[in-house]
Amino acid sequence: MARQYFGTDGIRGRTNAGVMTAEIAMKVGQAAGIRFLRGHHRHRVVIGKDTRLSGYMLESALVAGFTSVGMDVVMTGPMPTPAVALLTREMRADVGVMISASHNPYEDNGIKLFGPDGFKLSDEDELAIEAMIAGQQPLATASDIGRARRIDDARGRYVHAVKSALPDDVRLDKLKIVVDCANGAAYQVAPTVIWELGAEVIAVGVTPNGRNINEGCGSTHLDLVKESVVASGADIGLALDGDADRLIVVDENGAEVDGDQIMALIGTQLAARGELRGAGVVATVMSNLGLERCLAARGLSLQRTAVGDRYVLEAMRRGGYNVGGEQSGHMIMLDHATTGDGTIAALQVLAALVKSGKRASELLHQFDPVPQLLRNVRFSGGKPLENARVRSTIAEAEAQLSGHGRLVIRPSGTEPVIRVMAEGDDEREVAEVVEAICEAVAEAAA
């Protein structure tokens, strides 16, 4: 069934256009509310948001939708996505909602839904809610309309939960750490967590104004954290995205450390302690071949999935893994959280740094990445990947890379572009392959 609203990570779009309007948000609240009205208890939903200006509008619309079908609403204010997942379980809520477009600019926003177990919704639930949005939902009687309230201690609850993911014998007293919160949801909690554990914290990206989320900062714009680390002589830099479910690290020299290196570090550290489940790590098709080779050299496997942290999570639960993530920085550690949590992942990195006594540049260089090139080709309509010339060019490229490289071609789940990625031991060959495919796709899309 074709999806009209839900993409790879909830519902997302430009605010006040398409699927991201107050009207649609209210209908989502009504549909999700009805979907999770199960049993005879008083039903509850937890709603969090990042710092986007449009969060106020969408929050109000969702509150109206949920309360109109009889659900009580608890609002947390700006909180990371994993905090909403945590509080949904802790408060015995029936559904959780995060209002965020993650790493996108402030003009966009999104709605992510969690079930009562704190995990993102299944395809079955999303499709059921999609079908219900188009219809008219039964409203609660006047006496059964839900109530809404804000809670003041959500931040403290999450800070406590995140700190418990760090072993009791680990302190961060000797570290100077730059924390870039992308002017987003973690602008208060992430620096607090790391400061309370003893580190000297230099916090940047912590002055949200509704419009500056992810603007020149955070995990997708690393210049700020790199410059801050080098200028301050910090030991390490941590860059989160707008809703703090992903992490990119910067070493003491200002060099970027992506999610693949972080997964290699965390996976091998847990394996050495006998705590890695599934004898490997789960990542997407976009993760570097170097990660796969690194893990294999240590007797560990790499299970690949489609792009999207929800697919990583599904594979982890299905196969009994406890570590997974994406090259872009989503880190899922099921021993501590039900969804990606950049701050928890950061603590695992910091713990390894403290225990090893090494500099970040040495510890975090787990493998030499295989040359990898990703390009995006925008298209306005049609299905360019079904074009005969495109398919022939892709087949030729696959044959050329066979045995010493990989090719991944996929349409984006969030925008009208075809993503073309190739990697292999020969950098020039990789570039030639990507160029040929992009030309074919651009011609077909013209």
Spatial separation of the C-alpha atoms in residues 279 and 299, rounded to whole Å: 8
Other CB atoms within 10 Å distance of the CB of residue 107? 16
Spatial separation of the C-alpha atoms in residues 362 and 157, rounded to whole Å: 34
Spatial separation of the C-alpha atoms in residues 302 and 304, rounded to whole Å: 6
47, β-bridge pairs: 75, 97
Spatial separation of the C-alpha atoms in residues 435 and 446, rounded to whole Å: 16
Q: Which helix H or strand E contains 248, and what residues bound it?
A: strand 247-250
Spatial separation of the C-alpha atoms in residues 375 and 377, rounded to whole Å: 7
382 exposure class (CB count in 10 Å sphere: 0-12, 13-18, 19+): exposed
Spatial separation of the C-alpha atoms in residues 216 and 225, rounded to whole Å: 10
120, β-bridge pairs: 114
The first and second tokens of residue 1, run together, are: 């069934």
The first and second tokens of residue 310, run together, are: 């929800």
CB 215 within 8 A of CB 204: no
Helix (H, G, I), strand (E, B) or coil at 381: coil
Spatial separation of the C-alpha atoms in residues 117 and 51, rounded to whole Å: 25
Q: Which of 54, 68, 100, 102 is catalytic?
A: 102
In the annotation, is 392 catalytic? no
The first and second tokens of residue 334, run together, are: 């099921």
Q: Which residues are catalytic?
A: 102
